[in-house]
């Protein structure tokens, strides 16, 4: 069964309703990059040190059974594979000029996103889309803003050869470069029982990314029964989120999938910022082929959104609903980074998005008061994992030294 169908099947049957409440008491040394390791209840980690097992505990609010189902049979988790993936994730040698790693745009200092409006690759080239967080990406039905990758493995593979991102001339060139590093030759032999290939490299990176699971927020403690975990403002915001604010229509939340996304694609008018829908439609009509990864960072085509993948006119200007966990730590916002703060995002939705012929029918003027807007922001802040916030603060301080 394809992964996206599997997710829909799980959600429709409501099989995964039990939330894991085990607390992580520590993490494997160095697991999250040079010079630092997470500890606490917000992140997933491997308890066992041996390479043949990976026994995670899950932070409050994260459905462990769902995580287990989403680990592909062809890429089983082992501690050694996760460690190899961690090294690759932080290694700038995977880029053409040794300046960009996966962690450049998905940095632990910024909750595994970055602070740039759009992604910045080799030679300081700017892409056309904001870098989303990798936290909880294992639960995404599709990867990237336009959903062009169905798996974390495919997501890890594309930036390597994108000329605006990591800029390697080919995947064979990536493999050749890795084969020149004796440490990697040995590690791939130990983990996979064979030589370095591009598929094995992205399997390792994806395995590491599957450990980037964050929960244990104030909201999770509130849902678990602690009525004092949320401020009065955040409680009002949660009520607005579900009702007058209409947020939950797309940022869906339930015990089966508690990630505040419907994993669908919507046109909210962001692509119309200083652009014309007619111009976008004309580009859509003339588009024929081209690498999806390259087109996604080409200013001439990036705003077509999901249309680049589906080639369906209804998807012009539509982008994936992002999850909202840790959203307070990942400004700027929306797929083009056009909104600097959460307050700006609320204002954008309050006015009913940006009118265009493909505007999603659920986007309407909300007529929120100033107090209601503030309450919505406070609620979204309550979705922050305590450990992620501490780690981000620590890494930012370290980078400023």
Q: Report, as residue numbers or ranges, the catalytic residues.
A: 165
What secondary structure does DSSP assign to 131-191, as a single string?
A: ----TTGGG-SSBSTT--BSSHHHHHHHHHH-TTTT--S-HHHHHHHHHT-HHHHHHHHHH
How many other C-beta atoms lie within 10 A of the C-beta of residue 170? 11
Question: Beta strand 265-266 with 319-320: parallel, antiparallel or unpaired?
Answer: antiparallel
Rounded to whole angstroms, the Cα distance separating 336 from 271 reads: 8
Give me Rg for the CA atoms of the chain: 21
3-state helix, strand, coil in the chain (%, to 5): 45, 5, 50
Asked whether the beta carbons of 322 and 274 are under 8 A apart, the reply is no
What secondary structure does DSSP assign to 87-124, as a single string?
A: HHHT-GGGSTTS---HHHHSBGGGTTB-SSSS-B-GGG
């Amino acid at each position: 069964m394809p992964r996206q169908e599997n997710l829909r099947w799980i959600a429709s049957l409501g099989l995964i309703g039990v939330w894991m409440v085990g607390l992580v008491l520590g993490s494997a040394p160095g697991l999250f990059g040079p010079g630092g390791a997470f500890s606490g209840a917000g992140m997933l980690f491997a308890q066992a040190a041996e390479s043949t097992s990976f026994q995670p505990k899950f932070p409050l609010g994260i459905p462990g059974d769902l995580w287990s189902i989403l680990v592909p049979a062809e890429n089983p988790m082992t501690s050694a594979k996760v460690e190899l993936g961690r090294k690759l994730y932080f290694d700038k040698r995977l880029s053409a000029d040794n300046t960009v790693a996966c962690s450049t745009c998905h940095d632990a200092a910024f909750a595994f996103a970055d602070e740039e409006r759009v992604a910045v690759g080799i030679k300081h080239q700017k892409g056309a889309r904001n870098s989303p967080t990798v936290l909880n990406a294992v639960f995404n039905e599709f990867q990237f803003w336009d959903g062009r990758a169905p798996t974390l493995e495919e997501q890890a593979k594309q930036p390597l050869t994108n000329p605006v991102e990591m800029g390697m001339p080919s995947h064979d060139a990536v493999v050749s470069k890795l084969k020149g590093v004796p440490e990697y030759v040995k590690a791939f032999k130990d983990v996979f029982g064979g030589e370095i290939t591009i598929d094995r490299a992205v399997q390792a990176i994806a395995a590491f990314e599957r450990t980037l699971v964050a929960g244990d927020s104030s909201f999770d403690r509130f849902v678990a029964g602690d009525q004092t975990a949320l401020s009065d403002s955040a409680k009002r915001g949660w009520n607005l989120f579900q009702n007058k604010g209409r947020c939950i229509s797309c940022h869906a939340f339930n015990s089966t999938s508690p990630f505040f996304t419907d994993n669908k694609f919507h046109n909210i008018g962001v692509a119309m910022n200083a652009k014309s829908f007619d111009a976008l439609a004309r580009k859509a009509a003339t588009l024929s082929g081209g690498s999806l990864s390259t087109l996604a960072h080409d200013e001439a085509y990036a705003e077509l959104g999901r249309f680049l993948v589906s080639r369906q006119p209804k998807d012009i200007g539509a982008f994936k609903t992002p999850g909202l966990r840790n959203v307070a730590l990942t400004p700027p916002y929306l797929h083009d980074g056009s909104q600097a703060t959460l307050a700006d995002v609320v204002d954008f939705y309050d006015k009913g998005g940006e009118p265009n012929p493909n505007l999603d029918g659920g986007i309407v003027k909300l007529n929120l008061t100033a107090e209601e807007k503030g309450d919505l922001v406070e609620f979204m802040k309550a979705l922050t994992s305590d450990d992620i916030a501490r780690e981000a603060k620590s890494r930012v301080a370290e980078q400023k030294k």
